[in-house]
Amino acid sequence: MQFELRYQPAHTLAIVHLSPGEAIRAEASSMISMTSGLAVSTDGPLARGRGGLLRGMGRAMLGGESFFTNTFTAVGGAGHVTLAPALCGDLLVHDVRPGEDLLIQGSSYVAAPDTVTLDTQWQGMKGFFSGESLFFLRATGDGPVLLNAFGAIQTIDLDGELIVDTGHLVAFTSGIQYRVTTASPGLIASWLSGEGFVLSVTGKGRLYLQTRNPSEYGVAVGSSLPPREA
35-71 pLDDT per residue, tens: 999 999 987 553 333 333 333 333 333 334 446 889 9
Beta partners for 161?
202
Delineate the domains of the chain, giving CATH numbers in brackets.
Answer: 2-222 (3.60.160.10)
Length of the chain: 230
> What's the pLDDT score for residue 44?
58
CA 180 to chain centre: 19
Q: Give the tens place of pLDDT for each residue, 93-140.
A: 999 999 999 999 888 999 999 899 988 765 544 554 445 444 678 899
In terms of C-beta density within 10 A (0-12 exposed, 13-18 middle, 19 or more buried), how is residue 192 classed?
A: exposed
Q: What is the DSSP letter of 90?
A: -
pTM beyond 0.85: no
- CA proximity to 155, closest of 136, 165, 170: 170
Q: What is the DSSP letter of 11?
A: B
Q: What is the DSSP letter of 21?
A: T
Which of the pair, 202 or 228, is modelled with greater confidence? 202
Distance, in Å, from the CA atom of 159 to the CA atom of 139, rounded to the nearest integer, reads 22
